[in-house]
Each structure stands twice: as structure tokens, then as C-alpha cells.
Structure 1
Amino acid sequence: MSHLHSLNEAMEYIESHLDQKIDMKEVARKALSSEYEFKRIFSFLSGMTLSDYIRKRRLTLAAMALQKGGAKVIDVANQYGYSSPDAFSRAFERYHHILPSEVRTRTHTLKSCPIMTFRLTIEGGEEMNYRIEEKTEFKVAGYCMEMIMEENQLKPSYDEVLEKLTDERVEELTDLSDREPSGVIHVTTDYRQLSEHTEAFNHYIGAAVSKDYSGNKETHDIKASAWAVFEIEGDWESVEKEWMRIYSEWLPSSNFELIEGAEILASKENSSEVWIQVKKR
């Protein structure tokens, strides 16, 4: 069974359990991956978090159930996992811009989130330059910000994050770097679910330093592991395109699995490297 096929089996499982509690361990088992890898691949491919997709699919099906007539709002709320009719009404109105009680009495355009499946599309046979490196434990030292993703909106935005990267800080962090990836690096780590609609992660602007670093910067320990390192030439648009291909093409077709840890972007002038922590499947 291909990894791509297993990812779609996981999506079919989610679809068939939207009116039940979804067992994410079973989702990961069907996807032949970890929960972390599945959520990251889904997020990159769809442009939304998995929890946001599940919420939108449930609210899409809830609207269809109410349109058919006969179903009570409280019954539909219970069916799709809402603890109370009030919680369901708030979520329904936020998504459809109409109260569930008004679906059958008003002409209104409702939203519909389609079922998603994974497809591997390779256009033009473009090569990807990568290498696998084994690295011992090290630290990231620098400036840390908590990033909140709520209903697919990132706060603060990356533009606001980059505003904190002054010339003085660039020079300071460059001098601090004593490990690869060298220079100023951007590190995302500690992805976590805060609520049904909200996820968070930490974003460091920092430098790779020895594990025994004891300076005054905020630090994060990076565990020893294998890394897939992708070399990218070009501007930020090129980096975004290749980063997407890592998740949409390379991971689903490789014999490596993404592990929970850090993702690193190291850039110098018009050349970048994306580092992701992996292990053999």
C-alpha cells in the first residue's frame, strides 16, 4: 500500500466518523504516520488545520441535515459533537452567517466545505535537492514568540514577526551561531491544540548553539535525530513553493517519516535551506 493511499484511508475514516468522536490515534494508524506528521502534511496541502477542516465538514453536514427538515437543532448539535445548542448556534452562525434555527425559514446562501483527498501531482519533473544529515543534540538561542492560529488566521503575522529582526539582532545572532545550520535561523516547534478552533506553536528567531549554551537568550533544546535538508535557490516565493513540495511530493513518496520536533529555515541572500526532522518508515 502506498503512503498516498494510506493518507486517503485516513481521510475516509475521518469522513465516516464526523458524527462521532474521532480517534486521532486510529487516523494516524490508517495514515501509516504519526499524528504530528499527518496534521502537518494536511495543513500544508489544504491551507487549513485539520481541526478547522473537521469543524467545517461537521457544520456543512449540520446545515444539510437542517435543510432537509424534521431535525431539531438540539439533535443536530449533539450529533456533531457540540456540548450545547448555544455552542452549536455560535459556531454555526460564525461559519454560515445565519442561525441554525433560521435555515428552514429564510433564503440564505450556506457555506459548504468539500471532502478532501490527497493527490500527488508532479509537474515538469522538477528536481529537489536534498541531503540527509545525522545531528547530535543542540540548542536554539534567540527570541521566541507564541504564534496563534485561530480559524486559519495567524496572530501575529509573519510580517510582524520579521519587524523584530533588526540589523543589530541579526549581527548579534550571527556572532552567536556556532553550529549548523549557521547564521540567523527561523525555528518553529511545540505545535499544540489550545481548543477546537485554535492551535499554537512557538517561533524562534535565533541561532544554533552548543547544547551547553548558558547565555541570556531564550533557548529550545533540539533532540538528536536525522534531518532532511532541502537546498532552495531564489526569493521567498521560491522557498514557499519548495516548502509546499516537501510536504505534498517528497514526504508522501519517500521512505522517511516526519517526526515531532523542529522545522528550520536558514537563509542567506538568495539561497535557503529547509531542515525537517525525520526517521525511516
Structure 2
Amino acid sequence: MLERLNQAMEHIERHLDRSVDVAELARIAVTSEYHFRRLFAALAGIPLSEYVRRRRLTVAGAEVLAGERTLLDVAVRWGYGSTEAFARAFKAVHGVGPGEARRTGAALSAQPRLSFRLTIEGSNSMRYRIVQKDTFRLAGRKARVPLVHEGMNPAIVAFVKSIEPATRERIEALSDQEPAGIVNVSDGLAGNRAEGTELDYWYGAVTAAEVPGDLDVLPVSAGAWAVFETSGPFPEAVQHLWRDVFTQWFPANPYRSRPGPEISRTRISADGAHADAQLWIPVEPAS
């Protein structure tokens, strides 16, 4: 898998001056477009589109400083229809416009080429099971919140506190299958896992029952789920498990993620310091 990802990175470098064909990158990596985007973001820490943009403007920056082409020629070569559009994008990355950079020889930012290498990080085995589930409903309350990789998410904390205790009890009473009880769900990430990316957060329950009309409902299709368990400090243990699934487990196993909500069943100790959790990720065979 790592070799194929590096082949995809090489393909990006050879085609930086044209639109990125994600379908072709996924074909090189022998995976789906959906999984390629999510795996790249998890491993690289930035979305694929942002990486490509930074790489283009890194190479364009060198051409700007070289002074051998007009700024319009450089802009057109790297896919910008005008010097104004190029200047805006250039300044967003380098902190200075291309004209000023050329006149003053300003220091520019550089996005290094990415390559993926095996490091000894998986010394602890990851226990998992594959569960086939029929269609079900996720019922509860949802809110649009920003993604937070480390520490408590203030938006989620405030949202959960806003749900009346009686409503929480009604939601929990709907649970009639695994994962049991109240679950926390992330949906609508659209392949982007950068810090601050918005997602749909659900405080809900997994059910096959009819759902009261005043609750939010998300129909979930049948399919396979990879189920992981962890126990440790809260919220770090849960967040690190989420990270490790995408950066360690997927590259080492013959599965890829498929569209669907990611479900966490978390039980927190009375003092709020420790959690026992399950993480349910929708998957499909990689080939």
C-alpha cells in the first residue's frame, strides 16, 4: 500500500501543471476515490486538494523568483486565469504577492514533496472485528461542528449540554442493537480531516424502531463495519484510536473505508478522566 501511495505522489508531481485526476490517483493506489482522499488526509494531515495547491505554488514561487517568465506566463502555466487570481493564491501561501516577491527577493514558504515510509509505530496490536449489519436508523440530535484532533471539542460539549435530560432518555430508549446505548457519530466529513473542518455530529442511538417526529433521523445502509476497542484517558484514547485506524490499520489490512457515519460508543468514568470506547468504521474489501 505504501509503495502505491508513493507512486500516486509521483504522479501528482508529474502533473502539477494540470487538474488533479483523483480517479487516476485512486487507480494507482488500487483503492476508491473516497478512501484515497480520506487516507491521504489522515496520513498527511492536510486535504489532498490543499497539498496539491501548496505544491503548485511552491514550484510557481521558484519561477517567480527566477524572473525568466512574466508573472502572467507563470500564472497561466499553473492554472490561474489572471494575474489577480494568481496573486491572491500566491499571497495566501507565501504571505507576499508575486510582484513584491520578485522585486525584493522575499523569503517564500515551501511545501515539501510528500513520501510515505514505514516507521515502527505499530508495536501495539490493534484488536478488531468485522460486523455485518443490516440497514438501520441513527436517531437523535445533530449539529454542525468543527473537527478537533486533540482535547475536548467545545462545540460538542455545548451542544450535548443543550439537550434536555428527558430528550436524552428518549433517545437512549430507542437503542435496540449494537452499538448499544447513546453513541457519538461523525458524518459529512467529505474526505477532509483537517483541523477545523466542519462535520455533522450526532448524539443518538442505533435503532430499527420508528423514530418520533421531533428527533433527527439518518438512514444507514447495510454493510460491513470494522469495530475497534480502546480504554484509557479521555478524550485522548478515543482520538488516538481514530487516528491510528486511518494511519496504521487501513494501510496494513485489506479493507478500505466506504461512505457512511463513523460511530463511537464511549463510556466515561465518574471523574471524567477515563473512557472505555468502541469505534465503528464502515468498510469494504479493498479488492
Q: Provide the TM-score with structure 2 as the length reference.
A: 0.86
Name the CA distance, whole Å, in 1 between partners of 2:157 and 2:14: 42
Which of 12, 17, 21 is the matching residue for 2:19?
21
The residue that corresponds to 1:205 in the other structure is 203
- Of 236-245 and 160-169, deviating more is 160-169
Shift of 1:69: 1.2
The residue that corresponds to 2:252 in the other structure is 253
Read off the aligned partner of 2:156 and give its amino acid letter.
Answer: V
Name the CA distance, whole Å, in 1 between partners of 2:191 and 2:252: 28
Read off the aligned partner of 2:175 and give its amino acid letter.
Answer: S
Whether the 8 Å contact between 1:192 and 1:199 is mirrored in structure 2 is no
Which of 47, 54, 57 is the matching residue for 1:56?
54
Which of 277, 281, 284 is the matching residue for 1:279?
284
Name the CA distance, whole Å, in 2 between partners of 1:205 and 1:109: 47
1:162 maps onto 2:157 in alignment:
yes
Q: Which has the higher strand share?
A: 1
Read off the aligned partner of 1:103 and give its amino acid letter.
Answer: A
1:261 match: secondary structure? coil
The residue that corresponds to 2:125 in the other structure is 127
2:249 match: secondary structure? helix
Whether the 8 Å contact between 1:267 and 1:273 is mirrored in structure 2 is yes
Calculate percent identity across the aligned residue pairs: 35
Shift of 1:96: 0.9
Name the CA distance, whole Å, in 1 between partners of 2:109 and 2:227: 40
Name the CA distance, whole Å, in 2 between partners of 1:257 and 1:216: 35
Read off the aligned partner of 1:277 and give its amino acid letter.
Answer: P
Whether the 8 Å contact between 1:173 and 1:207 is mirrored in structure 2 is yes
1:264 match: secondary structure? strand
How does 1:93-132 map onto structure 2 within 5 Å?
93-123=91-121, 125-132=123-130
Name the CA distance, whole Å, in 2 between partners of 1:200 and 1:79: 33
Shift of 1:5: 1.2
Name the CA distance, whole Å, in 2 between partners of 1:177 and 1:74: 61
Shift of 1:251: 0.5
User: Residues 147 and 25 (structure 1 numbering): CA distance in 2 closer, same or farther, change over 3 Å?
Assistant: farther
1:238 maps onto 2:237 in alignment:
yes
Q: What's the Cα RMSD here?
A: 2.4
1:26 match: secondary structure? helix
* Unaligned 5+ runs, structure 2: 269-274
User: Residues 15 and 145 (structure 1 numbering): CA distance in 2 closer, same or farther, change over 3 Å?
Assistant: farther
The residue that corresponds to 2:134 in the other structure is 136
Whether the 8 Å contact between 1:7 and 1:32 is mirrored in structure 2 is no
Shift of 1:45: 1.4
Whether the 8 Å contact between 1:192 and 1:200 is mirrored in structure 2 is no
**Stretches (4+) displaced over 6 A:** none
Whether the 8 Å contact between 1:4 and 1:253 is mirrored in structure 2 is no
Shift of 1:170: 4.2
Q: Provide the TM-score with structure 1 as the length reference.
A: 0.88
1:32 maps onto 2:37 in alignment:
no
Name the CA distance, whole Å, in 1 between partners of 2:145 and 2:115: 28
- Of 221-230 and 77-86, deviating more is 77-86
Shift of 1:136: 0.6
User: Residues 143 and 126 (structure 1 numbering): CA distance in 2 closer, same or farther, change over 3 Å?
Assistant: same
User: Residues 170 and 106 (structure 1 numbering): CA distance in 2 closer, same or farther, change over 3 Å?
Assistant: farther
* Unaligned 5+ runs, structure 1: none
